Chains A and B, each alone.
Chain A
Amino acid sequence: DTGVSQDPRHKITKRGQNVTFRCDPISEHNRLYWYRQTLGQGPEFLTYFQNEAQLEKSRLLSDRFSAERPKGSFSTLEIQRTEQGDSAMYLCASSLGGQAYEQYFGPGTRLTVT
């Protein structure tokens, strides 16, 4: 399977705990995006990488959120001191380039903060 993969698929955590999600993009894709989707809404952009460089972060990405993409391969998204409002589906997507290229999405990680 050469699509985008994400791990874990589901995560339940208690408020205040830290969580980390992983995304493995399609191998030849140099762009990697993170989005968040809440119930009944479209995905909202969080951040993106061009190879290993994080080039943009949305206002939605508070200081408790951090993302990395070491060596321009897989990426991790960490949320520290989780809050109930962080409960959402976290989606990863990859593409060959910028706006002209379609993004391919992974299955997402559903986070529930209790």
Chain B
Amino acid sequence: AQKVTQAQTEISVVEKEDVTLDCVYETRDTTYYLFWYKQPPSGELVFLIRRNSFDEQNEISGRYSWNFQKSTSSFNFTITASQVVDSAVYFCALSDDTYGGSQGNLIFGKGTKLSVKP
């Protein structure tokens, strides 16, 4: 069965600290895609990154970095030198082909609420 687990419900850090958000997924497919979305207090989900199952290279975008490890079925997200504006709920999501036809619907974790205090 498809599943995404974000074990950390809430994390609180002080500005400039580094923070890692964990994501563990389950799928039987060999082809799948993993995503991270940010949901700030305003509510609108913002796309951050997409990674396919065949590309295990880590990715860095400014203060954000992502570590994809198929061996542990994890796709963790690190924010370096956190800022107050990073405060939001972060969702990890999975899209696979369980139902065939490249359906594409996302299976989300429950999210991790990150609070960055000044």
Contact = CB atoms under 8 A, between A and B. Distances in A.
Interface residues of A, number: 29
Contacts of A55: 101, 103
Given A99-B97, A100-B52, A102-B50, A44 B104 contact: no
Contacts of A31: 104
B106 A43 contact: yes
Interface in B24-61: 32-33, 35, 37, 42-47, 50, 52
B44 A107 contact: yes
Nearest to B46: A105
A66 to B, nearest CB: 18
Contacts of A56: 99, 103, 105
Interface of A: 31, 33, 35, 40-45, 48, 55-56, 58, 89, 91, 93, 95, 97-108
15 contacts: A31-B104, A35-B106, A41-B111, A42-B108, A42-B111, A45-B107, A48-B104, A48-B105, A56-B99, A99-B102, A100-B102, A102-B35, A102-B47, A108-B43, A108-B44
